Amino acid sequence: MLTLSLILIPLIAGIVSLSTKNNSAKQLALAGSIIELGLAIFIFTQFQANASAQFSFSYPWIKSAGILFAGAIDGISLLLVMLTAFLTPLIILSTFRQPYKNASAFYALILFMQSALMGVFTATDAFLFYLFFEAALIPIYFLAAVWGGENRIKVTFKFFVYTIFGSLFMLVALVYLYYQTTGTQGHTSEITAFYKLALDAQKQGWIFWAFFIAFAIKMPVFPFHTWQPDTYTESPTPATMLLAGIMLKMGVYGVIRFILPIVPLGLQTWGTTAIVLSVIGIVYGSIIAIQQRDMKRLIAYSSFAHVGLMSAGVFSQTLSGVQGALIQMLAHGINVVGLFFIVEIIFSRTKTRNIEQLGGITQRTPNLTVYFMILMLGSVALPLTNGFVGEFLLLKGVYESNIWLGAIAGTTIILGAVYMLRLFQKSMFGNKTSFTEHFADLSFSERAVLVPLVVMVFWMGLYPNSFLKLTEPAVSNLLQMIHY
């Protein structure tokens, strides 16, 4: 019941705020997301750190086909549920100074998105997972396409078609797997039933690709990333935060949940290819990020590079690789949302995102500089910040699987430092420019967004065990299931 409430609360809050007048929608959405956060924290405290799925619910949904409306939370789900519940109120809060036209629809869509994401991370029925996976796309499409920048129509449409195209392949794989299962009353679509299937290597090969394309587009992994930088740049910042902070994690989560346990033989054949593609993404994304002038675009490419490392870690099929990916999903979500928010703060005051035109902001607002610096250092994986733990584990995992690839993936730390420090230096230090001359200090609501993020950066950096121990049993259980 608790799990179901996670899906329902934002849905109901969204419907209610849709029917309110513009001004109250904002407060209502915030209230709804805070209630949701409270529930998530309650689940967090009640959660037993073992491999079993907890707080499960299950209702027959399409009886004739044996499809269930079922969900549960295990360690892996919990982390992502917490991430979603934590970031959404901050994303809503980050919009408080920004007037959005037709606000009630705007906030309702954010909440619908949250509801769908919760569904994705908790579904235990494959078709329900698929449904939420797709449903998450509709609110974000409208958020990006209605409230976005100049090229939004073309860019977001490419994004929409691209991701739907990928997911349809996953649908074929799911339908195929569904027909391979045998339950007491015909076929079943429970994910755990898929784990028990032992398909031959050739079949696993094509199922691997069907899943891989779907998740690789979502994450995105090279060469499926072409939709990403444009979409991130053209979307309104709250939508970008949702995309980068939470939505791309659906891809990584899908790999952990579906590819690892269901097609181990496919993974054996194609896993290295997947890691190579991910590693190419890391280096390629970082190099492009170094050359960007637009702050938003720079962070978009950095996000592409970071997710490449997560994907490489998961495909390494090692405990530290998967654990690292999970912790990095959390860390990256926090950092990237913070960074995009800082870009938005700078943009809203200076009307430019070009780092060549910025400079000297430190002199105006030392506060912002400190927050920015902490988030930036988290992003470049300085020890004692959240980014370090994940990146260390990920690199260890990739290294265990292939030394050379591990070494190349390791360049992410150097390249990351290059583009992030350059961004920080050019925008914060140096002389004031005509754009930054009258840079106002942070407002209360802006601080309210940044402080929790910074607290999390340190909590995860100093005491990562509080998160690692939650996921460990579930991850090792999952890895044990990978039998060739």
Partner 1 sequence: MLPIVLLSILGLVVLFLGFQKSKNLLLPATLLVLAIVLVANFLHWNDTPSLYFKNMLFENKFTMAFSGIVIFSAFLIVALTRGFVDDESAQPAEYYTLMLFSLVGAVMMIGFENLIMLFVGIEILSVSMFILTGSDKKNLRSNEAALKYFLMGAFATGIMLFGMALLYGATGSFNLTAIKGYVMVNNAPSAMLYVGLLMLLIGMLFKVSAAPFHFWTPDVYDGAPTIFTTYMSTIVKTAGFAAIYRLLSGSFSGIYSFWWMTLAVITVLTLLAGNITAVYQTSFKRMMAYSSISHAGYLLLSLTALTNQSQSAIVFYSLAYSIATISAFGVLMLVAKETGVHSYENAERFEAFNGLGKKNPLLAFVLTVSMLSLAGIPLTAGFWGKFFVFSSAADRGLTWMLVIAILMSTVGIYYYFKAIIAAYMREGELGAIKVSPFYRLILIATTIITLVFGLMPDFLKGLV
Contacts with partner 1, residue ranges (CB under 8 A): 61-65, 130-131, 134-135, 138, 142, 145-146, 152-153, 157, 160-161, 164-165, 168-169, 171-172, 175-176, 178-179
| Minimum distance of partner 1 from residue 170's CB (angstroms) | 11
CB of 475 to partner 1, least distance (A): 29
- Residue (105 or 295) nearer to partner 1, CB: 105
CB of 178 to partner 1, least distance (A): 8
Nearer residue to partner 1 within complex by CB, 59 or 444: 59
- Nearest-approach distance from CB 229 to partner 1, in angstroms: 21
- Residue closer to partner 1 by CB (options 173, 374) is 173
Of residues 145 and 274, the one with the C-beta less far from partner 1: 145
Cα–Cα distance measured from residue 121 to residue 132, given in angstroms and rounded to the nearest whole number: 9
Q: What's the closest the beta carbon of residue 64 comes to partner 1, in angstroms?
A: 5
HSE, side-chain direction, 13 A CA sphere, residue 275 = 29
Least separation in angstroms between CB 186 and partner 1: 11
**What's CA 185's distance to the chain center, in Å?**
37
Q: Which is nearer to partner 1, 42 or 165 (CB)?
A: 165
Minimum distance of partner 1 from residue 161's CB (angstroms)? 6
Is the Cβ of residue 236 or residue 324 nearer to partner 1 in the bound state? 236
CA atoms of 468 and 476, how far apart (whole Å): 12
| DSSP label of 243 | I
At 326, list the tokens: 């999970």
What's the angle, vertex CA 236, arms to CA 447 and CA 379, rounded to 5? 55
Work out how close the CB of 142 gets to partner 1 at its nearest, in angstroms, rounded to a whole number: 7
**Nearer Cβ to partner 1 (175/481):** 175
Contact yes or no for 225/114 (Cβ under 8 A): no
Q: Pick the closer one to partner 1 by CB: 165 or 404.
A: 165
Closest distance of CB 344 from partner 1, Å: 22
Q: In angstroms, what is the minimal distance from the CB of 128 to partner 1?
A: 10
CB of 168 to partner 1, least distance (A): 5
In sequence order, the 6+-apart residues with CB closer than 8 A to the CB of 414 are none
Nearer to partner 1 by Cβ, of 121 and 392: the residue is 121
Considering the complex, state which of residue 135 and residue 201 has its C-beta at the smaller distance from partner 1: 135
> With respect to partner 1, which residue has the nearer C-beta, 152 or 225?
152
Cα distances (angstroms) measured from residue 405 to each of 266, 364, 379, 410: 20, 44, 21, 8
CA distance 408 to 403: 9
274 class by beta-carbon count within 10 Å (0-12 exposed, 13-18 middle, 19+ buried)? buried
